[in-house]
Amino acid sequence: MAGTESPLVSAIICTYNPDPKLLDWAIDSLASQTLAASSFEVIVVDSASTPPVEGLVRARKGLNLRVVRENRPGLVAARCRGIREAGAELLVFVDDDNFLEAGYLEHAVRIAREDPGIGAFGGIAEAVLMKPTPRWKQSLLPHLGIRDHGPESITQHSDVWGPWEPIGAGLACRRVVACRFVEFVERNAASGSLGRNSGNYMSGEDTLLSRVGGWAGYACSYQPSLRLRHFMKPKRLRVTSLIRTLMGHGRSYVVVERLSGRAPYVPALRILPWNLVYRMKQSGAAAGFVLWFWDIGAYLEGNTPRPRLTDPRSDSPSPDLPS
């Protein structure tokens, strides 16, 4: 890195076989930030793409941008690589199909300074849709990383799901929390199954990061001053893709609960048909049918043997953290 001072923010883009135009779009949003370009760095983590991403990334004048290659597959490995490469005390994760509003990084720095008790936070994610989308599919957008919980901040110290917990797109976190996440992943191999990977639709690595911060004494927060746009390719809204996504969410829920030291809710095989009836009554036939695959995913993962986990709240010292 040029200069001797550490950046205020490390913006980390983890990407696998990206659409070059969308990746450009994401990087352009960082080049247009109101925070001085000298105050942040951009790290693009190429998660074993074919061909490598480095040849796709255009330099931007004044932007401290570099590409690193992570040959281990999966989003968790890519996030961990980005954390290790980061030089700032505040990290912001940007998906390769996100466009941050111009003040995103500046607001993130302000939030971190004003409330040192917050360890991980995020904001509003708006959908960018290429064509009109049926209402029932729009109701499923929150499961694809789209959210808006209103104009008021929501902060809570809790290791359960809630609106205060940030999603992966635009997630900001303190370096101390990120380093603990890396340490936890290294101790628990099951963590590597979370997050998108070639051929699966798992998620939950963002939730795990927030949980790790909670075990270290930090709160999570929803901050509506943080806004981004999330581009939705039509294929992500196909019924088959939605089904795989919800099934992945169900499986990920079970993994995260186990990693949190809790027994997850796992529906019994005999009640799965009743769950379908309930979801269709609650959400309508089409949306309810898709949501039912969350139950199927939870059932499948819940009946898959996994290795014994370490204590998630262990305070063993980390080589990446001050003792």
Q: What is the pTM of this model?
A: 0.91
Query: Is beta strand 64-70 parallel, antiparallel or unpaired with respect to 154-156?
Result: unpaired
Write the DSSP symbol of residue 305: -
The answer to whether 191 touches 208, Cβ cutoff 8 Å, is yes
Q: Average pLDDT per run of 10 along the chain, which is 323 residues long?
A: 74 95 96 96 94 88 94 93 97 97 98 97 97 95 96 91 94 97 95 85 94 95 98 95 97 95 94 98 98 98 73 44 28
CA dist., res. 157 & res. 164, Å (int):
9
The residue from 207, 232, 257 where one domain ends is 232
Residue 31 in tokens: 């080049």
Q: Rounded to an integer, what distance in angstroms lies between the CA atom of residue 248 and that of residue 252?
A: 6
- pLDDT for res 321: 31
Residues 226 and 272 in one domain: no
Q: Which domain holds residue 292?
A: 242-302
Amino acid at 98: N
Asked if residue 151 and residue 40 are part of one domain, the reply reads yes
Is 4 part of any domain? no
Domain limit, last residue, from 187, 204, 232: 232
Q: Is position 175 within any domain? A: yes
**What pLDDT score does 173 carry?**
98
- Which pLDDT score, from 0 to 100, does residue 320 have? 37
- Give the Cα separation of 202 and 192 in Å (integer): 10
Tell me if 276 is assigned to some domain: yes
CA atoms of 76 and 251, how far apart (whole Å): 16
Residues 133 and 264 grouped into a single domain: no
In a domain, 281, yes or no: yes
Is the same domain home to 141 and 162? yes
Kindly state whether residues 128 and 48 are assigned to the same domain: yes
Tell me the DSSP string of 112-176: HHH-TTEEEEEEEEEEEESS---HHHHTTGGGGT-B---SS-EEE--SS--TTSPPSTT-EEEHH
Residues 172 and 202 in one domain: yes
So what's the pLDDT on residue 100? Answer: 98
Query: Are both 228 and 255 inside the same structural domain?
Result: no
In a domain, 197, yes or no: yes
Distance, CA of 60 to CA of 42 (rounded, Å): 11
> Quick one: pLDDT at residue 322?
28
Does residue 288 fall inside a structural domain? yes
Please spell the DSSP secondary structure of 30-48, one letter per residue: HHT-SS-GGGEEEEEEEES
The verdict on residue 320 lying in a domain is no
Q: What is the pLDDT of residue 309?
A: 52
The domain total for the chain is 2
Do 163 and 83 fall within a single domain?
Answer: yes
182 found inside a domain? yes
